[in-house]
Amino acid sequence: MKDSTFEHNSYQESKGIISQNFDESAKAIRELDFVASAISDLQKTKEALRESEEKYRMLFSNVPLGILHFDSNGIITNCNENFANIIDLQKENITGKYLSEVIDLHLVSAIESALSGTVGHYEGDFVSKTSGKITFIRVNFAPIILDNGLNSGGVGIFEDITERKQIEKIFFHDIMNTAGSLLNFFELLEDEDQNLEEKKELIQVFGSLAKRIISEINTHRHLLISGKNKILLNIKKISSTSFLEEMIDFYNHKDIMDTKRILIDRYSVDTEFETDETILSRIVGNMIKNSIEASSPNEEITLKCSLINGMIMFSVHNSVVIPDEIQQQLFTRSVSTKGAGRGLGLYSMKYLTETYLHGTVSFISTKEKGTTFTVSYPLKYSNEEVSI
């Protein structure tokens, strides 16, 4: 009897021990599961943070804007390559420097606004302190405010808008010239000494000028709307000699030519090619206007189109020689055959030719042969979209 009771008690004790061990093991397993889950969550958090940091780095590096970060003391803590390119400095020569050491003085007011807790803006020329390179920029500076309300510095977003400003300057240069011609013809139209046939001719020219102004405005508006995006020009087939004949008709009037003469070279080649006629008219028109202004009374200006190595070439010739000191600066802004600071005509020829029509511009000027400006273009325009 005693043995039976002992055995029963031993069994109960053993059962309790086993149950207790089981509970402790289950608890340990639950704790291990919790730790494993916490580790897994931590790993996921770290991975998400790593991915977030990677995306930030990619955005910081690849965004088509210059980005600059500075602390509350005005010390540059970071920037991307686009910012370095805009100010024409190596990135390693920027970080750690005071803003005043690398930033154009024109931006001081906008930076002070950010450091004082408000947004600052600037739009205008930026002159590199090392190379003197001039870039037209638009900048927004914003403060970085911490949760405790303290200003920890700021960030600057730089946009290079040089291309847009170049287009704008060229447009106003060309549109003012065309509008000036329109006014001149209008004044001639009001002249009572003009006979009926002369007035009919002037009315036709008047209409042609009005159409050109509308076309130039539409082209300019399209380029501005496109901004930095890809654009498609109005490409179509035109005849080379027909194009030159239209240019002759446009300029061959007494109020423009006076006693000068303009004609098409008899060896000109007539061929079809693809181009944006409005932009080509701007380019060749500037060549003609430049030649007219440079020529003396009674001189002859010759237009020619040639076909060489699969390229269509338009040239404008006059007998005037460009001084050597001017030749060395041609095709730069504000330099013309008449000297420095005389407009954008030649610069626009090069800019529009190379940027939009995939062509080249050249000139030759000697005492023996006078001056000839030439633009060359492929017969077939590439379907590749143009980036500005």
Whole-angstrom distance, CA of residue 243 vs CA of residue 235: 14
In this structure, of 217-231, 304-318, 327-341, the range with the lowest mean pLDDT score is 327-341
**Is the pLDDT reported for residue 355 higher than 80?**
yes
Residues in Cβ contact with 368 at an 8 Å cutoff, skipping those fewer than 6 apart: none
pLDDT tops 50 at residue 387? no
At residue 325, the pLDDT reads: 75
Indicate if the pLDDT at residue 294 is higher than 60: yes
- pLDDT of 339 > 60? The answer is no
Contacts 24+ apart (CB under 8 A), 131-140: 131/88, 133/88, 135/86, 135/87, 135/88, 135/160, 135/162, 136/160, 136/161, 136/162, 136/164, 136/165, 137/86, 137/161, 137/162, 139/107, 139/110
DSSP 379: S
Q: How many residues does the structure list for the chain? A: 388
164-176 tens-digit pLDDT:
777 777 677 677 7
Average pLDDT for residues 289-310, to the nearest whole number? Answer: 91
pLDDT of 383 higher than 80: no
* pLDDT reading at 241 higher than 70: yes
> In the chain, where are the structural domains located?
63-160, 164-387
Block residue for tokens 């006014």: 183
For residues 238-249, give the mean pLDDT: 93
The order of strands in the sheet holding 300-308 is: 261-264, 300-308, 311-318, 370-378, 360-366
Which residue type does 245 have? E
Six-digit token string for 288: 């003609």
Three-state DSSP state, 216? helix
Q: Topology of domain 63-160, per CATH?
A: Beta-Lactamase (3.30.450)
Helix, strand or coil, per DSSP, at residue 308 = strand
CA distances from 195 to 189, 202, 258, 270, 295 (A): 10, 11, 19, 35, 30
Helices and strands, number each (H, E), in the chain: 11, 16
Cα–Cα distance measured from residue 121 to residue 201, given in angstroms and rounded to the nearest whole number? 52
Contact between 357 and 319 under an 8 Å Cβ cutoff? The reply is no
Nearest-5° Cα angle at 157, 164 to 137: 30
Q: Which of 308, 313, 267 is nearest to 287 (CA)?
A: 313
State mean pLDDT over 362-368.
Answer: 91
Tens digits of residue pLDDT in 24-41: 555 555 555 555 565 555
Superfamily of domain 164-387 in the CATH hierarchy: Histidine kinase-like ATPase, C-terminal domain (3.30.565.10)
Closest CA to 157 of 172, 139, 144: 139
Same fold for the pair 63-160 and 164-387: no
Mean pLDDT of 334-353: 60
- pLDDT score of 342 more than 50: no
Q: What share of the chain is helix, strand, coil (3-state, %, to 5)?
A: 50, 25, 25
pLDDT at residue 81 greater than cutoff 70: yes
pLDDT higher at 94 or 344 = 94
Rounded to an integer, what is the distance from CA 283 to the centroid of its chain? 19
Highest mean pLDDT among 231-240, 297-306, 351-360, 374-383: 297-306
- Model confidence at 268, pLDDT cuts 50, 70, 90, reads very high
What are the tens digits of pLDDT across the range 107-164? 888 888 888 888 889 988 888 887 788 888 889 999 988 878 788 888 888 988 877 7
pLDDT value of position 280: 92
Q: DSSP state, 190? A: T
CB 120 within 8 A of CB 158: no
Mean of all residue pLDDT scores within the chain: 77
CA angle 278, 279, 285 (to 5 degrees): 90
First-to-final CA distance of the chain:
106
- Write the DSSP assignment of 110-135 as a string of letters: HHHHHHTTS-EEEEEEEE-TTT--EE
Q: What is the pTM (predicted TM-score) of this model?
A: 0.55
Confidence grade of residue 49 (pLDDT, cut at 50, 70, 90): low
pLDDT in tens, 218-236: 666 666 665 444 456 789 9
Output the pLDDT for position 364: 92
What pLDDT is recorded for position 338? 47
Q: Which tens digit of pLDDT belongs to each residue from 178-197? A: 777 777 777 766 766 667 77
